[in-house]
Amino acid sequence: MNKQTATIGGGCFWCVEAIMTRINGVEKVQSGYAGGHTPAPSYREVCEGRTGHAEVTQVTFDADVISYKDLLSIFMTSHDPQRSTAKAAMGTQYRSIILYHDAEQKTVAEMLLSELKDVFPDPIVTEIVPLEKFFPAEEYHDNYYDRNTEAAYCSAVIAPKVAKLRAKHADKLKPVAAL
């Protein structure tokens, strides 16, 4: 096993978590906060926009099953990387961001964004920055979508993203029974 970690944010972490947990080779997804200036921020502080943090997910994956580049490709096509904030959730805490863990991840992220620039009609605004510190989110955020599929936000915002994932990346998904 070639275990690696990716830290990414693209809107609400509930959306990114719902996408990443369905990808074959992903072993763990932890919602949290990164890219800010306040130590040990709370959800409320991050939502108020006072900490500089983005809502992110930390993804532990087997690189022998899915590459970092493929993981990022799925991430980049599952949210709008042309906007600094998510459509349904406005604020810098929802910005598109890749927090790299080493120089190789930085290089892969930069190359991928360069490859994707002609795919999107507007410029990609996804930040690529080093991960300094990851703060796990409060436990009630864990597996939020799967525990709350009937909630309005989940059915209106997350479910269409999961459907798009199934349509666009079916070959990269875990068998349904594994979820």
List, by residue number, the catalytic residues. Answer: 12
**7, 156 in Cβ contact below 8 A?**
no
SS3 sequence of the chain: CCEEEEEEEECCHHHHHHHHCCECCEEEEEEEEECCCCCCCCHHHHHCCCCCCEEEEEEEEECCCCCHHHHHHHHHCCCCCCCCCCCCCCCHHHCEEEEECCHHHHHHHHHHHHHHCCCCCCCCCCEEEECCCCEECCHHHCCHHHHCCCCHHHHHHHHHHHHHHHHHCHHHECCHHHC
Task: Calculate ∠ Cα 51-84-151, nearest 5°.
Answer: 80
